[in-house]
């Protein structure tokens, strides 16, 4: 998945002007501070942290200070280094591995050194899971054991859906959030994120990331990266934010028009971790026999198949009954056979319009097969749940309705807001992994002023790609990023378990730690095989696979404890120099 950014020079120039304007605005805002008129504006335009995050970070630093001192790292209240963990996406592989990595950080007494955790895609699933416990940082044993627990029952999931389906914005996003939450994280916690704003500082501060789809496809880089914290939601590079409790409410020209209830974590999880909602992800699943161009009609057909396949897979993880499970397998196989039946001769004999009709017919055929299957089930709870699911979910799949959110920048009269945002009443947030599969953008630059980024890499695809994409992104938005030696990139077929990219002056240092590596794979072949065995799109992992991933992530962390300590020490020294310089 590539970044698409044309006209770079133009945007960089524009950004330059824009930053100057912002500084003026920030100063203006600062001058007015303490005056109530400032507080009435619901959209915050500023390069600094919002007061809520600032207070959290200040208090969290006391925890970090104690943590570092107990590791014999010398620093004072004024010189606490800013250390963040940035976990990559990667479906269930990353969701589970992150839990393992954090577990071991706790065991090594390193968890308290983290000021922040930033996540995208699969890692946001485990963040949403962990933060449902306000004290998770001191409860990692439980977090790990719940992952191996009994999980959510289909009936419970269906009850949640019944409630949600009454909502006017009910969409595939809810289904996706539900299934990843119940099926993969084995939990369903309907809290909302802004409730966490009042928590104490036991945990690192969470930053969840997404990208905005309209701007992702045709807009400037500044309109893409989106971040959500317990306090605020907004565009990282535009420096425009609203309070998280207003995220989803209706705005026009910067004024709050209508307050809406805040979305819960289940829906948020659906928004943050659904690469399926984007057109590009079907590339990997085009059947071999397809010998016609993949036009829109073909895409629609493959999308429907892909979503059905995933919904069925995740549904099976909420079920214990062997009969029901084998019924789901039967359905999965029926659909698989329908899509993999070689029709290349027929397709080639048709013109574009006829092909379009055929694809549409096939699309309905898949949905029809699910309905027929549902009716063929023996009467009982499973059949009832399935009937409800098919009634609610199939129409959404056919209409391809993914969740949109009211756009707080709608008609906002400010030159910095790109057209792709200003003109749309709704924006559409999608999986940030489509741009960069690690939350680097939210942590670059002066705002969070990070000294050290610990980046366990759980992504699929080419190793180091998240890093080089982030480097290029940083260059485009003119924020410091450490040098990456091109020699290192040659190790992508069989990477080491830990790389340090050392930052100079304002650049952060990055510790990059591939999940599979030279320590746990004897050669490039085994590395490739492991990546395949734990690929992103597959049925939920067996307990053995979950345990294997947990162990792998724990061991990686443990093996590199000394490197982490050394870099934390350097980060503390650097922060001290920064404060004195
Ligand atoms: C707010 O502004 C008003 C009028 O502009 C001024 O009189 C007042 O002192 C200001 N309040 C603070 C706290 O700065
Ligand atoms: C720790 O820092 C203090 C003050 O910056 C300094 O005086 C002291 O020598 C340092 N100790 C070590 C062990 O580096
Ligand atoms: C946060 O609150 C919990 C429970 O109320 C308490 O046990 C814990 O010590 C507190 N942690 C901090 C860092 O204040
Ligand atoms: C968040 O959830 C709580 C309880 O679930 C609810 O009382 C509160 O109104 C919600 N907040 C918003 C802004 O919707
Ligand atoms: C599909 O069928 C055509 C015609 O029989 C054949 O040439 C082609 O190789 C087949 N494709 C696959 C992937 O089996």
pLDDT band at 309 (very low <50, low <70, confident <90, very high): confident
Q: What is the pLDDT of residue 537?
A: 63
User: Is the pLDDT score of 4 beyond 70?
Assistant: no
Please work out whether the CB of residue 195 comes within 6 Å of at least one atom of ligand 4: yes
Please work out whether the CB of residue 200 comes within 6 Å of at least one atom of ligand 3: yes
Alpha carbons within 13 angstroms on the beta-carbon side of residue 106 total 18
Please work out whether the CB of residue 35 comes within 6 Å of at least one atom of ligand 1: yes
pLDDT band at 278 (very low <50, low <70, confident <90, very high): low
**pLDDT, tens only, 98-131:** 999 999 999 999 999 999 999 999 999 999 999 9
d(CA 301, CA 359): 6
State the average pLDDT for the chain. 89
Higher pLDDT, 184 or 48: 48
Cα(192) to ligand 4 centroid in Å equals: 6
Cα(113) to ligand 2 centroid in Å equals: 19
Q: Report the DSSP beta bridge partners of residue 209.
A: 120, 227
User: Is the pLDDT score of 553 beyond 70?
Assistant: yes
Cα(506) to ligand 4 centroid in Å equals: 40
Q: What is the CA radius of gyration of the chain?
A: 24
Q: What is the pLDDT of residue 538?
A: 64
Cα(14) to ligand 2 centroid in Å equals: 45
Residue 397 · residue 304 · CB < 8 Å: yes
Please work out whether the CB of residue 538 comes within 6 Å of at least one atom of ligand 3: no
User: Which strand (E) or helix (H) includes residue 39?
Assistant: helix 36-40
Which ligand 4 atom is nearest residue 190's CA?
A: 5
- What would the 3-class secondary structure string for 153-169 be? CHHHHHHHHHHHCCCCC
**pLDDT, tens only, 367-384:** 999 999 999 999 998 999
User: Is the pLDDT score of 221 beyond 50?
Assistant: yes
Q: What is the pLDDT of residue 259?
A: 94
C-alpha dist (Å) from residue 328 to 245, 257, 334, 341, 374: 39, 46, 10, 20, 10
**pLDDT, tens only, 68-93:** 999 999 999 999 999 999 999 988 89
Higher pLDDT, 402 or 236: 236
- Secondary structure (DSSP) of 501-527: E---TTSPEEEEEESS-TTT-SSHHHH
Place of tokens 């500023």: 46
Ligand 5 pocket: which of 286, 287, 288, 289 to mutate (most atoms within 8 A of CB):
289
Please work out whether the CB of residue 201 comes within 6 Å of at least one atom of ligand 3: yes
Cα(35) to ligand 1 centroid in Å equals: 6
Cα(132) to ligand 4 centroid in Å equals: 15
Cα(193) to ligand 4 centroid in Å equals: 9
Please work out whether the CB of residue 34 comes within 6 Å of at least one atom of ligand 1: yes
Phi and psi based region of residue 249 (left: phi greater than 0; alpha: psi -120 to 50; beta: remaining): beta
Q: Which of 46, 223, 3, 209 is nearest to 122 (CA)?
A: 209
Which ligand 1 atom is nearest residue 34's CA?
A: 13
Lowest-confidence pick of 75-79, 308-312, 313-317, 480-484: 313-317
């Amino acid at each position: 998945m590539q970044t698409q950014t044309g006209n770079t020079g133009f945007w960089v120039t524009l950004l330059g002007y824009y930053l100057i304007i912002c500084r003026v605005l920030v100063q203006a805002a600062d001058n007015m501070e303490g005056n109530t008129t400032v507080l009435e504006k619901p959209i915050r335009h500023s390069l600094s942290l919002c007061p809520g995050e600032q207070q959290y970070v200040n208090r969290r630093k006391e925890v970090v200070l104690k943590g570092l001192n107990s590791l014999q790292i010398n620093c004072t209240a004024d010189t606490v280094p800013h250390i963040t963990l940035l976990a990559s996406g990667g479906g269930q592989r990353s969701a589970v591995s992150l839990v393992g990595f954090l577990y071991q950080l706790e065991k090594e007494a390193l968890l308290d050194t983290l000021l922040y955790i930033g996540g995208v895609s699969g890692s946001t699933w485990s963040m949403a899971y962990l933060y449902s416990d306000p004290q998770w940082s001191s409860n990692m044993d439980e977090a790990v054991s719940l992952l191996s627990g009994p999980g959510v029952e289909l009936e419970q999931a269906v009850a949640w859906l019944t409630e949600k389906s009454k909502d006017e914005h009910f969409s595939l996003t809810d289904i996706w959030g539900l299934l990843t939450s119940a099926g993969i994280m084995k939990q369903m916690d309907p809290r909302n994120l802004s409730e966490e704003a009042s928590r104490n500082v036991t945990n690192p501060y969470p930053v969840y990331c997404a990208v905005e789809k309209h701007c992702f496809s045709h807009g400037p880089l500044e309109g893409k990266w989106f971040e959500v914290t317990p306090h605020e939601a907004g565009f990282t590079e535009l420096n425009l934010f609203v309070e998280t409790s207003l995220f989803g409410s209706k705005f026009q020209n910067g004024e709050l028009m209508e307050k809406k209830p805040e979305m819960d974590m289940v829906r948020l999880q659906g928004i943050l971790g659904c690469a399926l909602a984007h057109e590009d992800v079907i590339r990997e699943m085009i059947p071999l026999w397809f010998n016609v161009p993949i036009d829109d009609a073909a895409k629609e057909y493959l999308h429907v198949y892909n979503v059905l396949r995933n919904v069925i897979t995740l549904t099976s993880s909420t079920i214990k009954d062997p009969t029901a499970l084998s019924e789901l397998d039967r359905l999965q196989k029926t659909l698989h056979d329908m899509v993999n039946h070689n029709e290349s001769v027929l397709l080639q004999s048709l013109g574009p319009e006829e092909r379009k009709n055929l694809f549409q017919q096939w699309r309905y055929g898949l949905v029809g097969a699910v309905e027929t299957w549902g009716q063929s089930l023996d009467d009982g709870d499973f059949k009832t749940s399935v009937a409800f699911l098919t009634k609610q979910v199939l129409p959404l799949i056919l209409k391809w309705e993914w969740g949109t959110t009211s756009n707080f920048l709608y008609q906002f009269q400010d030159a910095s807001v790109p057209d792709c945002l200003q003109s749309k009443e709704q924006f559409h947030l999608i999986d940030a992994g489509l741009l960069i599969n690690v939350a680097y953008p939210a942590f670059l630059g002066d705002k969070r002023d990070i000294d050290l980024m610990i980046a366990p890499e759980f992504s699929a695809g080419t190793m180091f790609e998240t890093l080089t994409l982030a480097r290029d992104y940083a260059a485009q938005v003119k924020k410091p990023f450490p040098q990456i030696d091109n020699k290192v990139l040659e190790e992508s077929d069989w990477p080491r378990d830990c790389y340090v990219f050392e930052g100079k002056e304002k650049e952060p240092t990055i510790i990059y730690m591939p999940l599979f590596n030279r320590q746990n794979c004897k050669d490039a072949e085994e590395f490739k095989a492991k990546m395949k065995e734990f690929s992103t799109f597959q049925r939920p992992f067996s307990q053995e696979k979950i345990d294997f991933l947990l162990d792998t992530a724990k061991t990686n962390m443990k093996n590199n404890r000394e490197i982490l300590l050394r870099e934390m020490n350097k980060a503390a020294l650097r922060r001290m120099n920064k404060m004195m310089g």
